[in-house]
Amino acid sequence: MTPVGDDLVGIAMLGRQGTNFEAALAEIPELAARVAGREPASDLRGAGPFRQRTVRRSLGRVMLVGDASGYVDAITGEGIRVGLAQARAAIDCVDRDSVAAYEREWARRTRDFRVLTAGLVAVANSPLRSRIVPTAAALPRVFGAVVDRLAR
Ligand SMILES: Cc1cc2nc3c(=O)[nH]c(=O)nc-3n(C[C@H](O)[C@H](O)[C@H](O)COP(=O)(O)OP(=O)(O)OC[C@H]3O[C@@H](n4cnc5c(N)ncnc54)[C@H](O)[C@@H]3O)c2cc1C
């Protein structure tokens, strides 16, 4: 749930492919009760998977930043930080008059996000899915280290 205005929230459901939004909402009675009878501000805005594969992020004087340059998944709630880091890398490369360095910088600054998020998505799509939250609860230091790594 993301507050996006004084009287507006965005609701995103993360679930298996084919998850029905209304059915998923009904499975969370506390949330369903809060939005019951409220007029939706929009239709459903889309559904994943959101993976965006790219073979290159720059060509000539053009550099891609944000989801368009490559994206894994929303599961770690990270896209904006990663997009801003890519934008910073792009600006640095322009400053140094070295657009060619952008590919290397893009790879370096997105590595943790790509590796950790892809790993989490793989586990979330495996039989180990139901073990994620109990494992995180049982190993708070490991979970904290992963979150810290992503937040850098
Ligand atoms: C369910 C969900 C939850 C998320 N949660 C988080 C979170 O908690 N924290 C976080 O940091 N990130 C989160 N993200 C990821 C984050 O939303 C994205 O990484 C981020 O919005 C990417 O920004 P962007 O500018 O690259 O692309 P976008 O935000 O997609 O912006 C691209 C813009 O280009 C426009 N556009 C597209 N095609 C054209 C065209 N041909 N002509 C003109 N305009 C066009 C689109 O309408 C859009 O406005 C989440 C994503 C999803 C799907």
The pLDDT tens digits along the chain (152 residues) read: 888 899 899 998 887 778 899 999 999 999 999 999 999 999 888 888 888 999 999 998 899 999 999 999 888 878 898 999 999 999 999 999 888 899 999 999 999 889 988 988 898 889 998 898 899 899 999 888 887 877 66
d(C-alpha 11, C-alpha 88), whole Å: 30
Specify whether the CB–CB gap between 51 and 72 falls below 8 A: yes
Sign of torsion over alpha carbons 5, 46, 49, 22: positive
d(C-alpha 68, C-alpha 110), whole Å: 13
Can you read off the two tokens belonging to residue 21?
Answer: 């939004």
The domain spans of the chain are: 2-35, 58-151
Q: Ligand 1 pocket test: which of 54, 57, 80, 147 has the largest number of ligand atoms within 8 Å of its C-beta?
A: 80
d(C-alpha 130, C-alpha 16), whole Å: 12
Residue 24's pLDDT is 93
Can you read off the two tokens belonging to residue 150?
Answer: 């992503």
Residue ranges around ligand 1 (CB below 6 Å): 12, 50, 66-68, 74, 77-81, 83
Rounded to two decimals, what is the model's pTM?
A: 0.82
d(C-alpha 55, C-alpha 91), whole Å: 21
Instruction: Give the closest residue (by CA) to ligand 1 atom 6.
Output: 77
